[in-house]
Structure formats: structure tokens, C-alpha cells
Structure 1
Amino acid sequence: MTERPRRWSDESGTAALEFVTLGVLLLVPLVYLVLILGAVQEQTLGAEAAARHTARVIGQAPDAEAAAERGDAVLRSVVREYGMDADTVQVGIDCRPARTPCPAAGSTVIVTVSTRVSLPFLPPLFGLDRIAAIPVQAQAAQRTSRLWGSG
């Protein structure tokens, strides 16, 4: 009777190797997904906070000049606090009902903050970091007083 070569019949230790290999192959994408979700959540919370606080200070300001100054200060503070890229943050201010000066007395100020979340560890090769960025947008509304700007 011929004996099989030892390398074919001895499988001791291969289960551990297969488990480690499969574990790494499944764990790396899972960790990357968690990093992406964390980055998106951080930027979403930042955009929401920027919109809400900016709308609030504009609605509570005594006049348009103070509203602009306070809104810019709050926006800079929130962008810094949440680690947002100031170059990608875009802010839009609109009023309802539409009037010539915005904000105006008795109107509702609507602030929209938009930004893009860059994926972690993505190189800026061929513009992939810009193409694969995830857009995030938040909107908040604040009603101004009927006496806004008169005092």
C-alpha cells in the first residue's frame, strides 16, 4: 500500500488560518464603514447645528447689521467646533413671505447649510476625493418679531 504524502493528509492548523484570513477580509470593510458613518454623522450634526443656531441669532438680532455679524460669528464657531471644512460649507438665507429686504419684521428666516463629507483615507488622486464626497444639507427656520429692526 502506498502512503500519501504528508502534506496532503495533515490539515492541522488550517482552520485557524482560514478564520484569521476570513476575519480580516470581513473586518476591514466593516471598520471602514463605521469610519464613514461616523464622519457623515459628525458633518450632519454640524450642518444642523449651524443652520439652527444661525437662524436663531438672525431672528433674535435687533437689526440686519447685527444679524449679519452674529450669524457669521455663530457659523464660524460651529464650523470650527464640528471640524467642518470651511471651504466646502455653503450657507443660504431665505425669507418667507418673500420680501425685498431679508430678514424683515414678521418674516420667517430659513437658513440652509450645505457641505460635503470626504471619505476617510481616500487619496486626492484624479479628483477621487471630490467625486466620492457625500453631500450633506440641513435647514432651519426662525420667526422674527413683528417689531424686528425697529429698535
Structure 2
Amino acid sequence: MRALASDESGSAVVEFIMLGVVLLVPLVYLILTAGQIQAASYAAVGAADHAAHAFANARDESSGAARAHDAATRAGENMGFSAESVTIDYSCTPGCMQRDGTVTVAVSIDIELPLMPPGVDAGVGAVDADATRIFGGL
């Protein structure tokens, strides 16, 4: 009996470490990915709001579009997303720059898996948000 007990001494520590690594590493990666999705969500909402505000207070449509694009990319970069991952689209009702008309800005941010090496296409989806502002209103 004593010979059997000595053959397994120390194996519980090895099993505990291996099981911990096998379960802990995917769990930590899942938490990092969820954080990346949440950051994209916050960035998209903020980018859409700032872009709509910038567009609504511009002098003309072309400067409004440029200001909205700049505001959206800056909001995305503040949350750690590249300017290439932020796309913006806008529509005006009844027309752009008309008093009491509205502009709706839609922002989409592409999400990639965290900790991936450069050049690896690891997109997991996109987060969209939109915001509407009245022209001439603050």
C-alpha cells in the first residue's frame, strides 16, 4: 500500500496547475473580448453623438461632413480604435442645413479580437449607433 501512495505524490499540484491554466486562459480571453465589445459600444455611441453635434452646427454640408468624420474618428481613437475601423454615414431630413431640419449620423465601429498580431484579420463584428440633431440647435 505504501508504494502506491508514493507513486502519486505531487501529482495533485500538477493537475491543479494544468487544470487552472486550461480553464483560466480562455476565461481571461473571454473577459478581454467582452471588454473590447463594450469599449466599441461606448465609442460608437459617443462618436455618433459628437458627430451629429458637429454636423448640425457647421456652416455648410461639406464642412459638416468633414467635422462629423473628424469627431467620430477622434471618439473612436480615444477608446483605442483605429480611424480605419470607424465608418460614418449621415442623412438629412428634409435637406441638409435647412433650419429646423435634422441630421442623423450613423457610426459603425469594427471590432477585432484583442491581443492578435498585426496583419491577422480577426474581426468579430461591428457595433452601430446613431444620433439625431436639429440644425441650428445646440
TM bucket normalised to smaller:
0.7 to 0.9
Cα deviation, residue 47, structure 1 = 1.4
For 1:121 and 1:81, the matched residues in 2 are separated by: 18
Give 1:25's aligned amino acid: V
Mind listing any 5+ residue stretches in structure 1 that lack a counterpart?
A: 147-151
**Secondary structure of the corresponding residue to residue 113 of structure 1:** strand
Cα deviation, residue 25, structure 1 = 0.9
1:105 counterpart = 2:99? yes
Cα deviation, residue 19, structure 1 = 1.4
- Judged with a 3 Å threshold, the aligned counterparts in structure 2 of structure 1 residues 91 and 49 are, in CA distance, closer, same or farther, namely same
For 1:141 and 1:29, the matched residues in 2 are separated by: 40
TM-score by length of 1: 0.74
Aligned residue among 54, 76, 80 for 1:79: 76
Give 2:130's aligned amino acid: Q
Cα deviation, residue 65, structure 1 = 4.5
Q: What percentage of aligned pairs have identical amino acids? A: 35
What's the C-alpha RMSD, in Å, of the aligned pairs? 2.6
**Secondary structure of the corresponding residue to residue 75 of structure 1:** helix
The aligned residue for residue 112 of structure 2 is 118
Mind listing any 5+ residue stretches in structure 2 that lack a counterpart?
A: none
Structure (1 or 2) with the larger CA radius of gyration: 1
The aligned residue for residue 38 of structure 1 is 35
Give 1:110's aligned amino acid: T
1:121-140 pair list within 5 angstroms: 121-122=115-116, 129-130=121-122, 132-140=123-131
Greater strand share, structure number: 2
The aligned residue for residue 25 of structure 2 is 28
For 2:69 and 2:116, the matched residues in 1 are separated by: 31
For 1:12 and 1:55, the matched residues in 2 are separated by: 67
Cα deviation, residue 66, structure 1 = 4.2
TM-score by length of 2: 0.80
Point out 4+ residue stretches in structure 1 off by more than 4 angstroms: none
Q: Is the 8 A contact 1:123 1:129 kept in 2?
A: no
- Judged with a 3 Å threshold, the aligned counterparts in structure 2 of structure 1 residues 28 and 137 are, in CA distance, closer, same or farther, namely same
- Judged with a 3 Å threshold, the aligned counterparts in structure 2 of structure 1 residues 68 and 122 are, in CA distance, closer, same or farther, namely closer
Per-residue Cα deviation, 1:128-150 (whole angstroms, up to 9, x for no partner): 725x422111111112248xxxx
Q: How many residues end up aligned between the 2 structures? A: 136
Cα deviation, residue 5, structure 1 = 8.6
For 1:76 and 1:90, the matched residues in 2 are separated by: 8
